[in-house]
Structure 1
Amino acid sequence: MKIIKLNAIDSTNSFLKEMVIDSVVENFTVVVAESQIKGRGQQDSLWLSEPFKNLTFSVYISFKNFKIKHKKNLLFAISLAVYEAIIKETKLHISIKWPNDILSGNKKICGILVENSIQKDKIRHSVVGIGLNVNQINFSEAINKVSSLKLLTQKNYDLDVLLKTIVSKLKKRINQLENKEFEKLEADYLKVLYKKNTPTMFKDSKGVLFMGFISGISKEGLLQIELEDETIREFGIKEVSFA
C-alpha cells in the first residue's frame, strides 16, 4: 500500500484523479491530507474538517473486469469496509445510511464519495474519497447531526492506525467484489442499513411527507421504500430524505 501524505490540499479526490491522468498509479494508492480545504461530498456538497484531527483521504482502486451494471455492489463493498474498520477500532454501535454515510444513532460520523472512470460497459477504476470525523469535538452550528469518534467514546485515536485498518478492510471487500460475491455483499449491507424495515416518515424532493419503510435496494441501486398501501417507490440520491 502506497501512502502519499500532504499538508494541505483542496481535495484529495481531485489530486488523486490528476495523478491517474499523469502517471501509472499503483492499486490501493492512498492520498491523505492533514488539512483539506475544499473536501467534496455527494452531489458537490462540502465536507468540512478541522486540520490534524480527522481522516480525509482518497484511495485508488483499479478493476480487471468490473461491469457498470454491478455498480451498486461497489458502494456496498466500500461502505461495509469503512463500517467494519470503525467497529474494529471503536466497538461502537453504528449503521450505514443509504447510500454510504456512516451514522452513530442519527449523527453522521463519516462520508464517502466514489468517482468512477468508465469505459464502454466497465468501470476501469474508482477514486474513493473518505472523510471520517475522528478527534474533532467542536463543529459548526451550521452543520446538523454530526459527531466524531472522540465525542462518542471519549478517546483519542491514532489516525495512521485507523487509515491502515480501513484500507485493509477495503482490500478484503473489493476482493469479494472481484470474485462476484454480490449476494453476500448485498446481504451484509442490508443487515446494517439505517432504518431498514422500520416505519419512518420521509420527505420527497417536492417536500411531500409520507410514511413507509426501507425494504431494499433496486438492481439499479435506487432506494426502495414500501408505502402504507404496500406499493414500492424507488428513489435516487437527493430524491428522498428522512423527515
Structure 2
Amino acid sequence: MKIIKINATESTNLYLKSLGKSTNDKGIIAVRALCQTQGRGQMGTSWQTEDNKNLITSYLLPQINLEPKDNFKMSMLVSLALKKCLENLKVPDLKIKWPNDILSCQKKIAGILIENTFTAQKISSSIIGIGLNLNQKSFHNLPQASSLSLICQKEFDIDEVFQRLNVEIEVLYKKLIQKDFEGSLYEYYKNLYGYREEQIFEFKNGQQKKGMIKSIENNGFLNVKFNDHTSQSFDLKEIKQVY
C-alpha cells in the first residue's frame, strides 16, 4: 500500500480521482488529510469535521474488475472491515446502519463514500472514502453524531487508527480481487442496525410508518415490511430509520 499524507485538500476522494488519472500504480493508494474543506457524504451531502481531530482518508483500489451487480457486496465488505477495525479498538455497541454508516451506542461515528470507475461495463477501480470521528467533541446541529473519544472517554492516536484500518483495507482488497463474498451477507445482517426489529421509518415527505427491515436486495435497496402488511423497496435517501 502506498500512503500519501497531506495537510489539506477539498476532498480526499477528489484528490485520488485526480491522482488516479496520472498514476500507473497497480496496488492500493491511501491518502490521509489533516483538513478537508469540502468533505462529502452519500448523495451529495456534506461531512463536517474539525481539523486534525478525526481520521479523514480515502483508498484507491485498482484493477478490481467487478461486475456492477457486485457493487453492494463491496459496500458490505467495506463497512464490515471498518467495523472490525473499531472492534479491535474496543469501541462498544457497534452496528452498521444501512447502507454503510457505522454506529456506536446508537450514535453515528463514521461514514463511507464509495465512487466507482467503469471500463467495458465493469467496475475497474474504486475509491473508498472514510470519515471516522475520533477526537472531536462537538457536532453542531448533529444530535445523532458522536466520536470515539466521547464514547470511550479517552483520546485516540490518529496514526495508530489509520494503520489498523490499512490492515483491514488490504484484507478487503484481496477479497475483492478474488471475488470472495462468502459469508459477507450473513455478517452484514448480523451487524445491521434494526434488522428484523420493529422501528419507525421516515419518507422523504416527512411521513412516518412503523415496520421492520425484511432484507437487502442485490442492488442494495432496502426492503421494508410495514405494519400494515405492505412491503416496499427503497433506494438511498428515499427512506430513513428514525433512531
TM-score by length of 2: 0.94
User: Structure 1 residue 183: deviation in Å?
Assistant: 4.1
1:2 alignment counterpart: 2
Paired with 1:17 and 1:173, the residues of 2 have a C-alpha distance of 20
TM-score, normalising length: structure 1? 0.94
What amino acid does structure 2 have at the position aligned with 1:108? K
Match for residue 133 of structure 2? 133
> Deviations for 1:208-243, whole angstroms, at most 9, x for unmatched residues?
211110122101110111122444211000000123
The equivalent residue for 1:161 is 160
Separation in 2, partners of 1:137, 1:31: 24
Q: In the alignment, does 2:211 pair up with 1:212?
A: yes
Residues 87, 93 of structure 1: 8 Å contact kept: no
Q: What letter is aligned with 1:23?
A: T
1:53 lines up with 2:87 in the alignment: no
| 1:223 equivalent in structure 2 | 222
Tell me the SS of whatever aligns to 2:56: strand
Q: Percent identity?
A: 36
Distance across 1 between alignment mates of 2:34 and 2:168: 22
Match of 1:174 in 2: 173
Deviations 1:63-91 (A, max 9, x none): 34311111110000111111110110134
RMSD: 1.4
Which residue matches 1:86?
A: 86
How many Å separate the matches in 2 of 1:95 and 1:118? 31
User: d(CA) in 1 for partners of 2:190 and 2:229?
Assistant: 21
* Cα displacement (A) at 1:111: 0.6
Which residue is 1:147 aligned to?
146
Q: Are the equivalent residues in 1 in contact too, given 2:65–2:125 (CA < 8 A)?
A: no
Q: What CA distance in whole angstroms lies between the structure 1 residues aligned with 2:221 and 2:228?
A: 20
Runs of 4+ in 1 over 4 A off after TM superposition: none
**Is 1:38 aligned with 2:38?**
yes
Q: In the alignment, is residue 65 of structure 1 matched against residue 65 of structure 2?
A: yes
Q: CA deviation at 1:156?
A: 1.2
Quick check: 2:221–2:234 contact (8 Å CA) kept in 1?
A: yes
Pairing 1:104-119 to 2, within 5 Å after superposition: 104-119=104-119
CA distance in 2, matches of 1:83, 1:49: 20
Structure 2: 5+ residue stretches without partners: none
CA–CA distance in structure 2, aligned partners of residues 91 and 34 of structure 1: 22
Task: Determine helix, strand or coil for the equivalent of 2:219.
Answer: coil
Which whole-Å deviations, capped at 9, do the CAs of 1:7-34 have from their partners, x for residues lacking one? Answer: 1111111011000012223422111101
Number of residue pairs the alignment of both structures matches: 242
Which residue matches 1:235? 234
**Contact 1:211 / 1:227 at 8 angstroms: preserved in 2?**
yes
